[in-house]
Structure 1
Amino acid sequence: MTSSTSSPPATDLASPQARQPRPRRSVALLVLVLGTLTATGPLATDLYLPAFPQIAADLGAPESRIQLTLTAIMVGMALGQLAIGPMSDAWGRRVPLLVGVAVFTLTSFACALVTSAEAFIAIRFLQGVAGAAGAVISRAIVRDMFDGDTAARFFSRLMLVSGLAPMLGPILGGQLLLVGPWQMLFVVLGAVSALSMAVVFFGLPESLPVHQRRRQGPKALLGTLAGLLGDVRFIGPTLTLSLSFAMMFTYISAFSFVSQNELGVSAQGYSLMFAVNTIGLIAGTQVNAALIGKVTTSRLLLFGLVGALGAVAVVGALTATGLASPVTLTAALFVMMFGVGLVFPNATTLAISSQPAAVAGSASALVGSLQFALGGGLSSLAGLTSTGEASLASMSAVMAGTGLLALAVFVASALLGRRKARATA
């Protein structure tokens, strides 16, 4: 394990010169490295989705209990980011990142050895805590190196790489189930994580120079977090992002059961539907990257919210009229994911760029923790049915509710921000 002092000088990346236009090859390499880090989390949630029914049968647990493994990793990632983000502000980005990826690798292999649902849930929680490092520190590194439209464009490119994980995850998971048991999925996940650790070790220098690091005691840290929560420029887009993520994650966590139990598709059929919808997410992020500089960040975010909510309304209408089918649902969910692809990079940029680099880790931690806490918590409401399992109707209802809240929060925070700006002027 190398410390941050053994890597190339931090000032090489975090100096004012680093914010000047960078060679395309350098930016592409950075996108690849950070994309690999941010992709491990989505891969951990999506790779085993086609195996939910098989895991439930093998461990002798109801499907609702296996669904809690998703909630566990989301809660773990939420709490882990609150701890790891401030650590990266104090010690630099590199060391906490390497430690987190190493623990994530070990817990991935441990998931392949579980014999009970309870042990599975516990290990997934630990895996989430460790996996938080990749997500929270990647965002902080972007804040160290980019600002404004450049940051928004980078986040869009980053999602092109990280978006491949949720698209390929269920496909890979479905194919692996044809040749081996569900435990093989976690062996593959551990191998991917080990590869990402090597990429970080050899390809990612330190981005936060020593003179910008900020060590905080518990009281000072609480003060920093309270300041972030009270800053409408930060908390508005953060809650918008979190509620939009809850809308998307409701679909992610419930659709495996819904598609196979209500629509009668196979695990491989579900994987194909999921992949098509993820293409919508990737397409949205890349259209967003092309429009940055031509359309304001806030307007792009609003377009994404309205489009995603409209698509969810179509899902609800298809469900109510009995016209829901694999084809019609895939089309509607594709549009929803396209809208989310506009929301995520712009909401992240507005939140992170509103804060100085010295607290970027803490700000990134709060963004991620609220995102995963609300995503994991609110999505579980889809399972509160008479049978204890998510249905197409309950999935649609939770998605509509979280989408409406996201739009309301964004509009309210934008109006409040403008009012404060006028008062200050």
Structure 2
Amino acid sequence: MAYQKEKSSVKLLLLLGSLMAFTSLSTDVFLPAMPEISHDLSGHAPLLITSFLIGFAVAQLFWGPISDKYGRKIPLLTGIFLFIIGSIGCALADDMFVMIIFRIIQAVGACTGPMIARAIVRDLYSGIKAARVFNVLMIIMSVAPIVGPLIGGQLLSFFSWRAIFTFMAIVGLALFISTLFLKETLSKSNRRNDFSGIFKSYFGILKNKMFMLSALVVSSFYLAIYAFISASPSVYIEHFNVDSRYYGFLFGINVLGLTIVSVFNRRLIDRFPLFRLVRTTILISFLISLVMLIMNSLNDKSLLSVAVPIFIIFSSNGIIASATNAIALSYVSSNSVGIASALLGSFQYGSGIISSLLLSIWNSNHPIPMTWITFSGLFLASIFAIQLSRQLASDNKE
């Protein structure tokens, strides 16, 4: 009962939104510096995204059970501390291998943010209420991808790329201090004591059809999103000759669209079933990706042929992420929320590993590789969204 007032407070939502934005903080801020990092460290900068996503996806599978056993607060504080250490290490790195190691450490810590934030929401809310809260968090966390590249670009104007990772460490310290005042949301009665049983629960969740379909929809969608995030610095800065200082504005426009869609989504959630919102949004995004692919195959000199379609696709995340997260977590038991949230995050961000690896192999600043991966991801997402929609419609009839 003591937590009732806090769970609806602006402070709690701001903190959870900031934790959800950990991924954006860890990637978007240094995107303008990727060409410079590649030059200074004589390496391929997209590997810094790949390594981060590997650490981010795998570590969640361990943090999930830990948070279900020991509660949310202690793992979260530990994760933020590791993020700070990783950020400092990246700032001091003098070769690409060392930087990759510290990016993995940074990721192992950063993954606790969105994973535990999702678990906290599920601890306190369920169903449509959870979808509404996730939607509010999407609005709050959307600030990070808007200001991140802008801050990164401006820091590059006055300092080297190392200042960007110093900035990350400072933000991490601020979040650590804020989290100290967070109350524990997982009651002792809902905690799990048997670690072997906890890890076995992963197999049970993998057999959960509704959870898996939701996870496959959002992870396929993020395959497309991370194709843009990984490739956009080289495509915009090197292919289209956009100044690194202004790259942040082009990136931020997309997140502004995401924020606007998230605001409208608060009304859509009350008027339409979640599965219908997911299906319609995914299919529209898929058609837009097809148009983008055709346009860039015919003319690769137009910035608008990439920027406009990406704006629409990126903005649709304001509906897809909140709806699929709410659907997925509503089909798991209260004592497995941490595990389910970890698995959901591993699928979601693990798909970005595929995008960044494919782009590293392709090794081109041309927009075609990015558009092909975007199209492929949304094609898969469309298939899974249709299956999810049919299954949920069938369940509602029953």
TM-score by length of 2: 0.96
State whether structure 2 residue 368 is matched by structure 1 residue 393: yes
Could you say what secondary structure the match of 2:9 adopts?
A: helix
1:238 counterpart letter in structure 2 = A
Give the conservation status (yes or no) of the 8 Å contact 1:213–1:358: yes
- Contact 1:303–1:339 (8 Å) recurs in 2: no
The equivalent position to 2:295 in structure 1, one of 318, 338, 341, is 318
Judged with a 3 Å threshold, the aligned counterparts in structure 2 of structure 1 residues 35 and 41 are, in CA distance, closer, same or farther, namely: same
Who is 1:4 aligned against?
Answer: none
Question: Deviation digits for residues 338-394 of structure 1, max 9, x if unmatched?
Answer: 222211100010001111221100000000011111122234213333xx2353001
**Contact 1:280 1:334 (8 Å CA) reproduced:** yes
* SS of aligned partner of 2:93: coil
Structure-2 residue corresponding to 1:217: 195
| Mapped pair 1:246 → 2:223 | yes
Q: Which runs of 5+ in 1 are unaligned?
A: 1-10
Taking the aligned partners of 1:143 and 1:324, their CA distance within structure 2 comes to: 46
Of 364, 368, 384, 1:409 maps to 384
Residue 47 of structure 1 aligns to a residue whose secondary structure is helix
Letter in 2 for 1:227: G
Matched-pair contact (CA < 8 Å) for 1:383–1:391: no
Query: How far 1:328 sits from its partner (Å)?
Result: 4.0
Query: Aligned residues, how many?
Result: 398
Residue matched to 1:102: 81
Q: CA deviation at 1:420?
A: 7.1
Q: Distance in 1 between matches of 2:282 and 2:393?
A: 20
Change (3 A) 1:150 1:419: closer
Question: 1:224 and 1:390 mapped to 2: Cα distance?
Answer: 43
1:382 paired residue number:
359
What is the identity, as a one-letter code, of the residue corresponding to 2:367? L
Query: Match of 1:76?
Result: 55
Looking at structure 2, the residues matched to 334 and 185 of structure 1 have their Cα atoms a distance apart, in angstroms, of 25
Structure 2 residue corresponding to 1:137, chosen from 93, 116, 125: 116
Q: Distance in 2 between matches of 1:324 and 1:377?
A: 27
Q: Secondary structure at the match of 1:119?
A: helix
Distance 2:16 2:356 in 1: 27
Distance, in Å, in 1 between the alignment partners of 2:169 and 2:13 is 22
Does the alignment pair 1:51 with 2:33?
yes
1:93 and 1:183, CA in 2 relative to 1: closer, same or farther beyond 3 A? same
d(CA) in 1 for partners of 2:263 and 2:290?
A: 24
Secondary structure of the residue that 1:112 maps to in structure 2?
Answer: helix
CA RMSD after TM alignment: 1.8
Instruction: Give the equivalent residue in structure 2 for 1:278.
Output: 255
Query: Which residue, out of 120, 124, 128, partners 1:149?
Result: 128
CA deviations on 1:104-139 (whole Å, 9 max, x unpaired) are 111111110001111111110111111111111000
Q: C-alpha distance in 1, partners of 2:329/2:144?
A: 24
State the secondary structure of the residue aligned to 1:48.
helix
Give the distance between the partners of 2:82 and 2:361, measured in 1 at CA.
33
**132, 143, 146: which one pairs with 1:167?**
146
Per mean C-alpha deviation after superposition, the further-off stretch among 374-383 and 144-153 is: 374-383
Matched, 1:12 2:2: yes
For the 8 Å contact 1:284–1:341, the answer to whether it is kept is yes
Q: Percent identity?
A: 29
Separation (CA, whole Å) in 2 of partners of 1:396 and 1:32? 34
Identify the match of residue 266 of structure 1 among 243, 246, 253: 243
Asked if structure 1 preserves the Cα contact closer than 8 Å seen for 2:69 and 2:191, the reply is yes
Instruction: Tell me the TM-score normalised to structure 1 length.
Output: 0.90
Structure 2: which amino acid aligns with 1:404?
F
The answer to whether the Cα contact below 8 Å between 2:276 and 2:389 also exists between their aligned partners in 1 is: no
Matched AA of 1:353:
S
Residue 82 (structure 1) shift: 0.6
Alpha-carbon shift at residue 299 of structure 1 (Å): 1.0
Aligned equivalents of 2:388 and 2:127: distance in 1? 19
Deviation (angstroms), 1:221? 2.8
Q: Is the 8 A contact 1:303 1:342 kept in 2?
A: no
What is the CA deviation profile of residues 4-54 of structure 1, one whole-angstrom value per residue up to 9, with x for unaligned ones? xxxxxxx633xxxx4xxx68x933222101111122221111111001111
Q: 1:323 Cα deviation (Å)?
A: 6.0
Alignment of 1:32-43 (within 5 A): 32-43=14-25
Contact 1:38–1:162, Cα closer than 8 Å, also in 2:
yes
Which letter maps to 1:411?
I
CA deviation vs aligned residue, 1:78-118 (integer Å, no higher than 9, x gap): 11111111111100111111111111111111110001111
Q: Is the 8 A contact 1:49 1:256 kept in 2?
A: yes
Query: Would you say the 8 A contact 2:217–2:381 is kept in 1?
Result: yes
CA contact (8 A) 1:250 1:395 kept: yes
- Select between 306-315 and 155-164 the one with higher mean Cα deviation: 306-315
Q: Distance in 2 between matches of 1:382 and 1:139?
A: 30
State how far apart, in whole Å, the 2-side matches of 1:156 and 1:27 are: 15
Give the distance between the partners of 1:133 and 1:323, measured in 2 at CA. 40
Is the 8 Å Cα contact of residues 251 and 399 (structure 1) preserved in structure 2? Answer: yes
> SS of 1:293's equivalent?
helix
Alpha carbons 1:136, 1:368 under 8 Å: kept? yes
Structure-2 residue corresponding to 1:289: 266
1:324-363 alignment runs, 5 A limit: 324-363=301-340
CA contact (8 A) 1:243 1:375 kept: no
For the 8 Å contact 1:273–1:326, the answer to whether it is kept is no
Residues 54-91 of structure 1: CA deviation (Å, up to 9, x unaligned): 11111122xxx211110111111111111111111100
How much has 1:301 moved relative to structure 2? 1.0
- 1:206 maps onto 2:184 in alignment: yes
